[in-house]
């Protein structure tokens, strides 16, 4: 869910009336009987980092660089006014005014700070328009005022160009003034879509010339004292459009008579530590990025192309340096031993998931056919065993379709398809997880610093909210049990193939904590693992580079290991930094997808679509379209002429006069009213709402149902809504009553 509003607001309108606490007058939050109100005292104004969403889609935050010994306080983000009304996203930083409420705080945004490429001077990205005397720039961020540019400060920009503008500091009255500091090309160029997200989120694009030089002058290492793996038929298995190949796999039956039915698996990973040495220009640039960022039309790599697509990419028939792990599994898939080795490999083939699956399904192509019996079948045999151990572990089994945006040659969206999930995908995934576990175990055993990938169990507040929602659909999440992913899996299995399957998978995901990097291990809840680290993708993740260096040091595997001076304090600081960079990339990738989808739908204004309510907030409903997966907003003012209360416990908006109810997960048909490609915003209105699904949560004395009269729509028939979505508003006493309430407000 994008959280975007094309009308540039995001604040509650006059028709929104949150259900409020009697004691504070603020929106109340359900709280577990086990949960004590231990929220620490915070200042009235603070810098916050947006950390996630609750299951209704409301934004949650915590104080920036939280250092408290207890859990961070529960903070709910409320949009501000004017510029501060622009939507925030996960990873953003905002200055907000805090108000204590039951169990936490409500934060009203005052302004956005840092986080999106703030350079000290205030800068923004926008579209330039020229007139006779001056220029104007319309920021790509919704809710921002138009910026005036004097003729002397346009840098020659032309109408329709995407430009970066530095704002004049200290101007308090009148429209903001600024100057163009960079021209980035025409905004209607399809290539600008990702560029906007990259610049808006401050993702570094240019490499330090010294880093580029280090990459371009790097030489392939010689075998030396390393292990020669070049005779093993290791293969890479990736998507057809893979931009790097950093892992290769091989398997065979274990010949040890003590391990009947067992398997030996080798996972070989590009030896990035050979080239990216601690403290080098390459190292500094890699840390500054934290990870590669992937967009439909491009990748912003963590390492220069000479490494990411060259010496560190395990391409076919080329000698490459690798750090590998040799693992032994018994017939039930339990790992019974492993060792790390460093050396050279030579890939037998660069295969795709579809290619490998087709070979196993009986239709191998010319490349896969010679490898079928010696390479592919043994990989599937080992996977079948490892899958048994995975199933016994019961990791979280969410079923969330991945939609892929496919572009044509001009860079515009050609189609949106759901990526197929094959056994070939699962095979690689399970081997990578096993290798990552080996890395964490070895570093722990060797008492060497480890950058763990941690994932805490869900917070109590999120569990309570999830429990309330599931109860409304007749699903039960019992209290008092030891929390395990298996509990969620039972609910997901029960919901499978029902009308609620999609929304239940979505809300279970939203209830989870966000994974991060930390040298202090708390385990990985989602994978049901006591220890876990990222080892398998050092081309695109800095955490993996650190783990490689730590393994080289711990196992005495040669040069390029972790410096002795780098320990827990340094890892703690780096963990926070790369976790923030990961959130930054996720936000930019999400915004880019939103813009592509808005462009894709921009010529279909007025068209109707089937969708599902994916978020319920005090200012409206978020709807996800069934076919494209695009998210947009129905502002609360478009729901009709009555007031709607936000009932948190039911995750619903309820009409005060009629009891008309819109609940998370409801199917709706919507009409597209606005699509803004430059910002990625979609605005809908309701076309039809199934009256059979219009539950009345509470009967009001003045409602039609309470007076015993028959509803105007026949049961099960599509219900045309009052007001803007379904014709003129009704006249008479009821509307006047609503007007009187507005005057009181």
- Our answer to whether residue 34 is catalytic in this structure is no
> Where exactly are the structural domains of the chain?
16-113, 123-200, 209-393+418-455+518-591, 460-512
Burial grade of 387 (CB within 10 A; 0-12, 13-18, 19 or more) = middle
Residue 173 or residue 82, greater confidence:
173
Residue 433 has pLDDT above 80, yes or no: yes
Query: Same fold for the domain at 16-113 and the one at 123-200?
Result: yes
- Average pLDDT on 451-468 reads 93
- Our answer to whether residue 7 is catalytic in this structure is no
Q: What is the rounded distance in angstroms from the CA atom of residue 461 to the CA atom of residue 75?
A: 11
Residue 676 has pLDDT above 90, yes or no: no
- Our answer to whether residue 208 is catalytic in this structure is no
Task: Supply the pTM of this predicted model.
Answer: 0.77
From 3.40.50.2300, 2.40.50.140, 3.20.20.80, 3.40.1390.10, which CATH number describes the 16-113 domain?
2.40.50.140
Q: How many CB atoms lie within 10 A of CB 280?
A: 14
The answer to whether the CB of 119 falls within 8 A of the CB of 205 is no
Q: What is the rounded distance in angstroms from the CA atom of residue 356 to the CA atom of residue 575?
A: 36
**315 φ, ψ to 5°?**
-75, 160
Which helix (H) or strand (E) segment holds residue 107: the answer is: strand 104-113
Which one from 353, 452, 596, 643 is the annotated catalytic residue? 353
The answer to whether the CB of 543 falls within 8 A of the CB of 438 is no
**632 φ, ψ to 5°?**
-150, 175
Give the neighbor-by-neighbor strand order of the sheet with 247-253: 227-228, 335-346, 319-329, 263-270, 247-253, 235-238, 349-352
Domain 123-200 has CATH 2.40.50.700: yes
Rounded (10°) angle between helices 281-289 and 542-554: 130
Question: DSSP for 283-319?
Answer: HHHHHHH-B-EE-SS-EE-SS-HHIIIIITS--BT-E
Residue 24 has pLDDT above 60, yes or no: no
β partners of residue 27: 20
Which helix (H) or strand (E) segment holds residue 488: the answer is: helix 485-495
pLDDT in the model for residue 80: 63
Listed in order, strand segments (DSSP E) in 114-160 are 123-130, 134-139, 147-150
Q: What is the rounded distance in angstroms from the CA atom of residue 352 to the CA atom of residue 359?
A: 11
- Our answer to whether residue 189 is catalytic in this structure is no
Q: Give the least confident one: 2-11, 357-366, 529-538, 613-622.
A: 2-11
User: For 565-624, how does the pLDDT look when each residue is reduced to its tens digit (9 = 90+)?
Assistant: 899 999 999 999 999 999 999 999 998 999 999 989 999 999 999 999 999 988 899 999
Which one from 540, 549, 683, 719 is the annotated catalytic residue? 540
User: For 624-659, how does the pLDDT look when each residue is reduced to its tens digit (9 = 90+)?
Assistant: 999 999 999 999 988 888 899 998 878 889 998 888
% pLDDT > 90, the chain: 56
The answer to whether the CB of 719 falls within 8 A of the CB of 688 is yes
The answer to whether the CB of 143 falls within 8 A of the CB of 83 is yes
Q: How many CB atoms lie within 10 A of CB 238?
A: 17
Residue 608 or residue 200, greater confidence:
608
Q: Give the least confident one: 361-365, 554-558, 693-697.
A: 693-697
Residue 29: pLDDT band (50, 70, 90) is: very low
Which one from 54, 244, 544, 591 is the annotated catalytic residue? 244
| 3-class secondary-structure state, position 411 | coil
- Our answer to whether residue 353 is catalytic in this structure is yes
- Our answer to whether residue 246 is catalytic in this structure is yes
Residue 365 or residue 20, greater confidence:
365
Which one from 246, 271, 285, 464 is the annotated catalytic residue? 246
């Amino acid at each position: 869910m994008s959280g975007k509003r094309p009308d540039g607001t995001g604040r509650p309108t006059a028709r929104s009336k949150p259900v409020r606490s009697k004691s504070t007058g603020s929106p109340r939050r359900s709280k577990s009987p086990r949960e004590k109100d231990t929220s620490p005292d915070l200042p009235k104004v603070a810098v916050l980092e947006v950390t996630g969403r609750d299951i209704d889609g409301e934004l949650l935050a915590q104080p920036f660089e939280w250092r408290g010994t207890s859990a961070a306080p529960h903070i709910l983000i409320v949009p501000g006014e004017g510029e501060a009304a622009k939507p925030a996203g996960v990873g953003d930083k905002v200055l907000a005014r805090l108000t204590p409420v039951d169990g936490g705080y409500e934060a009203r945004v005052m302004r956005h700070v840092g986080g999106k490429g703030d350079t000290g001077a205030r800068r923004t990205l926008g579209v330039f328009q020229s007139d006779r005397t001056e220029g104007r720039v319309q920021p790509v961020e919704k809710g921002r005022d138009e910026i005036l540019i004097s003729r002397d400060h346009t840098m020659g920009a032309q109408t329709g160009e995407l430009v970066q503008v530095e704002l004049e500091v200290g101007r308090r009255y009148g429209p903001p003034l600024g100057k163009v500091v960079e021209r980035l090309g025409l905004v209607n160029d399809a290539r600008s879509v990702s560029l906007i997200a990259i610049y808006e989120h401050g993702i570094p694009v240019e490499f330090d010339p010294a880093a580029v030089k280090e990459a371009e002058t790097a030489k392939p290492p010689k075998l030396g004292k390393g292990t020669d793996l070049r005779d093993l038929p290791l293969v890479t298995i990736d998507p057809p459009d893979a931009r790097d190949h950093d892992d290769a796999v091989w398997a065979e039956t274990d010949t040890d008579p003590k391990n009947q039915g067992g398997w030996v698996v080798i996972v070989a990973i590009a030896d990035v530590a050979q080239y990216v040495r601690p403290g080098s220009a390459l190292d500094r640039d890699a840390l500054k990025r934290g990870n590669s960022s992937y967009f439909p039309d491009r990748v912003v790599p963590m390492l220069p192309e000479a490494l990411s697509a060259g010496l560190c990419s395990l391409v076919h028939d080329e000698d490459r340096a690798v750090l590998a792990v040799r693992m032994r599994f018994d017939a039930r898939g339990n790992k019974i031993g492993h060792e790390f080795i460093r050396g050279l490999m030579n890939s037998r083939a660069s295969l795709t998931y579809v290619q490998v699956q087709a070979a196993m399904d009986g239709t191998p192509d010319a490349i896969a056919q010679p490898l079928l019996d010696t390479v592919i079948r043994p990989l599937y045999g080992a996977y079948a065993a490892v899958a048994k151990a995975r199933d016994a572990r019961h990791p979280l089994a969410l079923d969330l379709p991945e939609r892929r945006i496919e572009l044509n040659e001009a860079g515009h969206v050609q189609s949106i398809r759901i990526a197929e999930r094959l056994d070939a995908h699962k095979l690689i995934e399970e081997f990578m997880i096993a290798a990552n576990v080996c890395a964490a175990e070895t570093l722990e055993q060797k008492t060497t610093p480890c950058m763990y990938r941690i994932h805490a169990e869900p917070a109590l507040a999120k569990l309570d909210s999830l429990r309330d929602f599931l109860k409304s659909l007749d699903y039960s999440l019992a209290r008092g049990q030891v929390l395990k992913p298996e509990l969620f899996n039972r609910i997901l299995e029960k919901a499978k193939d029902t009308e609620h399957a999609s929304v239940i998978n979505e809300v279970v995901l939203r209830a989870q904590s966000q994974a991060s990097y930390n040298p202090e291990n708390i385990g990985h809840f989602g994978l049901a693992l006591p220890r876990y680290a990222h080892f398998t993708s050092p081309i695109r993740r800095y955490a993996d580079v650190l783990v490689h260096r730590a393994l080289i040091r711990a196992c005495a595997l040669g040069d390029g290991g972790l410096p002795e001076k780098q320990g827990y304090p340094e890892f703690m600081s780096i963990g926070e930094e790369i976790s923030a960079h990961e959130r930054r990339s996720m936000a930019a990738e999400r915004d880019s997808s939103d813009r592509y989808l808005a462009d894709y739908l921009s010529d279909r204004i007025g068209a109707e679509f089937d969708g599902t309510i994916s978020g319920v907030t005090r200012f409206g409903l978020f709807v996800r379209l069934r076919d494209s997966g695009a998210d947009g907003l129905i502002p609360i003012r478009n729901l009709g002429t009555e007031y709607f209360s936000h009932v948190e416990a039911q995750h619903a908006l309820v009409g005060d006069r009629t009891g008309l109810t819109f609940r998370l997960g409801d199917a709706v048909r919507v009409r597209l009213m606005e699509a803004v490609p430059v910002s990625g915003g979609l605005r809908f209105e309701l076309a039809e709402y199934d009256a059979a699904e219009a539950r009345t949560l509470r009967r009001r004395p003045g409602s039609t149902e309470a007076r015993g009269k028959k509803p105007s729509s026949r049961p099960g028939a599509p219900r045309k809504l009052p007001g803007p979505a379904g014709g003129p508003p009704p006249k008479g006493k009821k509307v006047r009553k609503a007007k009187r309430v507005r005057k009181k407000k």
